[in-house]
């Protein structure tokens, strides 16, 4: 998959963009990218793109239409300055060679300029609508993305008009930003749909289901399994699968076969005969990282000698498990591959800003904002891939002397925009000196902990980051003033993908498991103390010198 980059902007080029135009355009592009990184709705982002052009070219009125490839029609997306009646009239426009400027541009894949709508043959069917809206000229440019034409960017004028070289340069830049926004929105929509399919297939399934690690320790169960066994979710999570669902025959080599018979005590103490189906959940490299388990109660069927019906139910359960496994695998694979395209686009724009002749203060501010947005999204991808590598025993560390005080300062600075958005005050104190560890992993651990403390805090709350030397160890404590956690939730904090029932979009539940795994790999410890309404304190202790740090991480 190709990375999306930005064309070179020529400063003070003859007939092109003047310095002031370049600065203004970069400021608006930065604002658009920040909205994308913050997860703003697509309509708001595209309206920002349209408004940017209108502000730079007075007396112009712009619109963005999105192409519905299934119906070959253009749908309204953003047109803040056009009459609502006109936007509604062209909504659903069928593309073609004679379909006005936008329909023709989307169909042919090239810019279409109608200097005078009144005489342009492509506007015969739409001349009346344009006249009622007071529009005399329309220049439409196709918006291209990873999958081809995504829509059109149209510029209207109230008098006959032909675009200047300056206007062409502006549209080139803004259509590219629009394509990034549209591709980004489609990617996250697909990820959300994939995750929702998995959640629905798992939680709403009438068949008992569970997710375990590769060794068979239960990490997640659905309501149907709890009801079948007469147990609560907290009683099952953390237990060994073969102690909850006791195999009718010993498992060879302690490995779980694709299907086996088991017994268990159900609600009311009755003996259950069960059919257990186990399907692997694989990472992007094909390695098994989870087991998806379905549990079918066949007690009554065996009593009635309904062997044929039992086989049918087993096949249904197996299919459900495969759907759930594929949904989870798709979710991880999509994060690991597809998400990198928009991230590379943001990173490319950051590099472009670094080459412009801006003032030192403005350049630094732009770089910090865009780089922070990029790191925020990229951290989600890296966390998923890191957990996969940890479980596969394939993640190595690169030891060096790490200035913990400098790392703490960097982490607080990186998370300052998030803290401001959440209305949380972050304070740091103490001095710790150096540890011998992997610099990138130490930063990653502290980013996870301080970021969680900010996200799960309350408006007006505070986060205290205190670093200190304790004998031959360095200790960093992160304290927040959030709602805190009940004791039963503390045991689940380090179960990957368990978000403790959180409804807010606060990640996929990998931060703390990954932070603990990385800390322990550097011969350190990570502990959590929390109580409802009293906040949470996470303490990381790392040795000042570690002889075994070059080892490969063991599976979590």
Contacts of 364 (CB under 8 A, 6+ apart): none
Query: What does the pLDDT read at residue 25?
Result: 80
* Domain residue ranges in the chain: 19-195, 204-323, 395-543
261-265, 355-359, 472-476, 490-494: which range is least confident on average?
355-359
Query: What does the pLDDT read at residue 381?
Result: 65
Query: What does the pLDDT read at residue 7?
Result: 41
| Nearest in space to 103 (alpha carbons), one of 117, 93, 89, 92 | 93
Query: What does the pLDDT read at residue 377?
Result: 67
Q: Residue 23 above 80 pLDDT?
A: yes
Tell me the pLDDT of the chain averaged across its residues: 79
Query: What does the pLDDT read at residue 202?
Result: 78
Phi and psi at 483, nearest 5°, equal -75, -20
| CB burial readout 139-167, b (16+ within 10 A) else e | bbbbbbbbeebbbbbbbbbeeebebeebb
Distance CA 370, CA 466 (A): 28
> pTM of whole model > 0.75?
no
At residue 516 the predicted structure's pLDDT band, cuts being 50, 70 and 90, is: confident
| Better-scored residue on pLDDT, 263 or 156 | 156
* In the block, residue with structure tokens 């998959």: 1
Distance CA 323, CA 319 (A): 6
Distance CA 396, CA 393 (A): 9
Report percent pLDDT > 90 for the chain: 30
Query: What does the pLDDT read at residue 336?
Result: 53
Phi and psi at 403, nearest 5°, equal -80, 100
What digits encode the pLDDT tens for the residues 293-352?
Answer: 888 888 777 666 545 555 677 777 677 566 546 546 655 654 554 455 556 556 655 665
Average pLDDT on 15-35 reads 77
Identity of the highest mean pLDDT range in 390-404, 433-447, 503-517:
433-447
At residue 10 the predicted structure's pLDDT band, cuts being 50, 70 and 90, is: very low
What digits encode the pLDDT tens for the residues 444-479?
Answer: 899 889 988 998 899 999 999 999 998 889 999 999
Query: What does the pLDDT read at residue 363?
Result: 65
What digits encode the pLDDT tens for the residues 518-538?
Answer: 888 888 999 999 888 888 999
**Which DSSP category does 552 fall into?**
B
In sequence order, the β-bridge partners of residue 483 are: none
| Nearest in space to 183 (alpha carbons), one of 153, 140, 147 | 147
At residue 503 the predicted structure's pLDDT band, cuts being 50, 70 and 90, is: very low
Query: What does the pLDDT read at residue 367?
Result: 66
Query: What does the pLDDT read at residue 380?
Result: 65
How crowded is residue 80: how many other Cβ atoms within 10 Å of its Cβ? 14
The superfamily CATH assigns to domain 204-323 is: PAS domain (3.30.450.20)
- Decide if 19-195 and 204-323 have a common fold: yes
Using an 8 Å Cβ cutoff, are 218 and 238 in contact? yes
| CB burial readout 474-505, b (16+ within 10 A) else e | bbbbbbbbbbbbeeeebebbbbbbbeeeeeee
Domain 19-195 fold: Beta-Lactamase (3.30.450)
For domain 395-543, say whether CATH 3.20.10.10 is its number. no
| Nearest in space to 381 (alpha carbons), one of 420, 344, 421, 327 | 344
Query: What does the pLDDT read at residue 286?
Result: 84
What digits encode the pLDDT tens for the residues 171-207?
Answer: 998 999 888 888 888 777 666 666 777 777 777 787 8
For the chain, give the number of residues: 556
């Amino acid at each position: 998959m190709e990375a999306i980059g930005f064309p070179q902007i020529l400063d003070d080029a003859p007939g092109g963009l003047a310095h002031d135009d370049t600065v203004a355009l970069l400021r608006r592009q930065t604002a658009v990218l920040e909205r994308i990184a913050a997860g703003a709705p697509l309509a708001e982002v595209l309206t920002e793109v349209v408004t940017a052009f209108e502000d730079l070219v007075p007396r112009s009125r712009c619109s963005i239409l999105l192409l519905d490839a299934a119906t070959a029609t253009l749908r309204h997306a953003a047109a803040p300055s056009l009459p609502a009646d006109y936007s509604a009239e062209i909504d659903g426009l069928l593309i073609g060679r004679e379909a006005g400027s936008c329909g023709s541009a989307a169909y042919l894949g090239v810019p279409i300029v109608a200097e005078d709508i009144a005489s342009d043959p492509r506007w015969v069917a739409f001349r009346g609508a344009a006249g009622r809206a007071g529009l005399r000229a329309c220049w439409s440019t196709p918006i291209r993305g990873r999958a081809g034409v995504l829509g059109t960017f149209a510029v209207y004028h109230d008098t006959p008009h032909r675009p200047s070289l300056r206007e062409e340069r502006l549209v080139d830049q803004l259509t590219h930003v629009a394509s990034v926004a549209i591709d980004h929105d489609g990617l996250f929509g697909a990820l959300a749909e994939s995750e929702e399919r998995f959640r629905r297939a798992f939680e709403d399934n009438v068949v008992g289901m569970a997710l375990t690690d590769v060794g068979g320790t239960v990490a997640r169960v659905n309501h149907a399994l709890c009801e079948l066994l007469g147990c609560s979710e907290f009683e099952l999570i953390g237990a060994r699968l073969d102690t909850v669902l006791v195999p009718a025959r010993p498992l060879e080599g302690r490995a779980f076969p694709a299907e086996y018979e088991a017994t268990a005590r159900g609600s009311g103490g009755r003996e259950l005969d069960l059919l257990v189906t186990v399907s692997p959940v694989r990472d992007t490299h094909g390695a098994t990282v989870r087991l998806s388990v379905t549990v079918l109660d066949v007690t009554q069927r065996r009593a009635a000698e309904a062997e044929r019906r039992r086989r049918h139910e087993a096949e249904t359960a197996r299919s459900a498990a495969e759907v759930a496994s594929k949904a989870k695998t798709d979710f991880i694979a999509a994060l690991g591959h597809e998400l990198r395209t928009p991230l590379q686009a943001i990173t490319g724009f950051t590099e472009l800003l670094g080459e412009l002749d801006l003032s030192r203060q403005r350049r630094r501010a732009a770089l910090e904002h865009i780089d922070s947005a990029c790191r925020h999204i990229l951290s989600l991808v890296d966390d998923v891939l890191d957990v996969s590598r940890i479980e596969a025993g394939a993640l190595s560390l690169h030891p060096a002397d790490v200035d913990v005080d400098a790392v703490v300062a960097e982490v607080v600075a990186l998370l300052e925009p998030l803290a401001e958005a959440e209305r949380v005050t972050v304070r740091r104190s103490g001095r710790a000196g150096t540890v011998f560890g992997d610099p990138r992993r130490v930063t990653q651990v502290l980013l996870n902990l301080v970021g969680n403390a900010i996200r799960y805090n309350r408006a007006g709350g505070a986060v205290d980051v205190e670093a200190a030397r304790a004998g031959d160890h360095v200790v960093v404590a992160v304290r927040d003033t959030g709602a805190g956690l009940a004791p039963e939730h503390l045991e689940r904090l380090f179960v990957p993908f368990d978000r403790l029932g959180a409804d807010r979009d606060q990640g996929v539940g990998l931060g703390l498991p990954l932070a603990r795994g990385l800390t322990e790999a550097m011969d350190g410890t990570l502990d959590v103390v929390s109580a409802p309404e009293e906040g949470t304190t996470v303490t990381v202790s790392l040795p000042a010198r570690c002889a075994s740090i070059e080892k490969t991480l063991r599976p979590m």
